């Protein structure tokens, strides 16, 4: 099967999906997705109604983008059996109609690992034969979404390997993650718990606008500005008292090694997002305990409460017994249905093999 894969490049996670599809014998053509300038459907977009009128209803940024892409990228005019969009924030009707004209029998699948409060992915539902979301609340709100948590991989490490760290987490410095970690790190110190926690911050200097905003918000002193103040101070912090600053991403094999050496993974997410993060799913697959701020975690039937502890992000309490107390074999979460080979099979299942059709 020949697949056109429009992939959002966040953390290069799409590459593992490509590898799995190719391993299954499919030909995969990858075009990277991107958020278009002036897109009114992103959660951080301002003046949404005005932008929608100008850049969607009047000058359609999606169609103009794909008009240019179709002219400049010959791969878009090849024959395909499946169009798979991972995130798909740039998708417009022009692209869909172009693919349908060239490929009358093409199937179209959308997968999102953000939810509709982050981006209005539901604007695209009518264009796809099947749409998947990782977010349980989105799936409840709209039956056109099919729930499919993020993929994970069967653990490859030796389970007898000793745990070097009680707590493990790596993540970028966005949202209020740093503030959350600052509430936890003193507890780890007091309890004598070992940890490997890194906040990835690529920015090294501040713009004058950031400096001005920082001083204004600092003077105001409102609690809701805490996350921004922490981030700016973290960028400027030369001492890094907790030893958690990192200025580069790590390779996937290094991540796998670190998680295998840890007892428990520290997970966090946006308060409006109910989907399980990749970090969460990978920790389950590696049979690690998880401390998470996701209050919806237990709504996923495969999640074992023995393996997952939900905490309040604003007042997290780290329970040493939860981290160190062993759990029984039958109390681990079973995520085998979401191993990447089966996960990819689900995404591709919309395309029925001709031999199966002939049997109907």
Average pLDDT, whole number, for the chain? 92
Within 10 angstroms of residue 213's Cβ, the number of other Cβ atoms is 16
Q: What is the pLDDT of residues 44-92, one digit of tens each?
A: 899 999 999 999 999 999 999 999 999 999 999 999 999 999 999 999 9
Domains of the chain: 2-150+339-359 (3.40.50.2300), 165-201+246-336 (3.40.50.2000)
**What is the reported pLDDT for 17?**
96
**What is the reported pLDDT for 253?**
85
Contact 327, 306 (CB under 8 A): yes
**What is the reported pLDDT for 280?**
95
Residues 6+ apart with CB under 8 A from 177: 171, 199, 268
Total-model pTM: 0.89
DSSP structural state of residue 177: H
**What is the reported pLDDT for 274?**
94
Q: What angle do CA 101, 30, 274 make, to 5 degrees?
A: 100
* Better pLDDT: 335 or 155: 335
Of the spans 15-29, 217-231, 246-260, which averages the highest pLDDT?
A: 15-29
Please choose, from the candidates 6, 60, 18, 124, the residue with its C-alpha nearest in 3D space to the C-alpha of residue 340: 18
**What is the reported pLDDT for 157?**
56
12 — pLDDT class (breaks 50, 70, 90): confident
- Cα(152)–Cα(342) distance, rounded to whole angstroms? 10
Residue 352: pLDDT over 90? no
Q: What is the pLDDT of residues 19-36, one digit of tens each?
A: 999 999 999 999 999 999
Contact 323, 103 (CB under 8 A): no
Within 10 angstroms of residue 218's Cβ, the number of other Cβ atoms is 13
């Amino acid at each position: 099967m020949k697949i056109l894969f429009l992939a959002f490049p966040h953390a290069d996670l799409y590459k593992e999906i490509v590898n799995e599809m190719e391993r299954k014998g499919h030909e995969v053509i990858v075009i990277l997705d991107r958020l278009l300038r002036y897109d009114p459907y992103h959660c951080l977009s301002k003046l949404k109604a005005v932008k929608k009128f100008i850049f969607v209803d009047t000058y359609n940024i999606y169609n103009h983008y794909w008009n240019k892409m179709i002219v400049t990228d010959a791969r878009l005019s090849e024959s395909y059996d499946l169009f798979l969009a991972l995130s798909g924030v740039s998708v417009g009707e022009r692209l869909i109609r172009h693919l349908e004209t060239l490929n009358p029998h093409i199937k179209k699948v959308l997968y999102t690992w953000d939810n509709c409060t982050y981006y209005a992915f539901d604007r695209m539902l009518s264009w796809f034969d099947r749409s998947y979301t990782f977010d349980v609340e989105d799936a409840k709100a709209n039956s056109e979404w099919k729930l499919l948590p993020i993929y994970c991989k069967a653990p490859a490490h030796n389970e007898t390997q000793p745990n070097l760290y009680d707590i493990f987490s790596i993540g970028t410095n966005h949202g209020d993650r740093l503030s959350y970690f600052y509430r936890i790190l003193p507890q780890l110190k007091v309890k004598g718990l070992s940890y490997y926690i890194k906040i990835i911050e690529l920015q090294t200097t501040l713009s004058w606008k950031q400096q001005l905003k920082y001083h204004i918000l600092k003077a105001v002193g409102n609690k809701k500005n805490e996350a921004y103040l922490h981030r700016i101070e973290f960028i400027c912090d030369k001492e890094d008292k907790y030893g958690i600053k990192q200025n580069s991403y790590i390779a996937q094999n290094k991540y796998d090694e670190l998680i295998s050496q840890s007892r428990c993974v520290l997970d966090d997410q946006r308060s409006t997002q109910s989907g399980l993060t990749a970090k969460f799913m990978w920790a389950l697959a590696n049979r690690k305990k998880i401390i998470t701020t996701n209050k919806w975690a237990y709504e996923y039937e495969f999640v074992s409460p023995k393996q997952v502890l939900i905490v309040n992000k604003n007042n997290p309490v780290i329970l040493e017994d939860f981290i160190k107390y062993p759990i029984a074999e039958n109390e681990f979460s079973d995520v085998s249905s979401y191993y990447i080979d089966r996960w990819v099979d689900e995404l591709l299942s919309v395309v029925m093999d001709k031999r199966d059709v002939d049997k109907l």
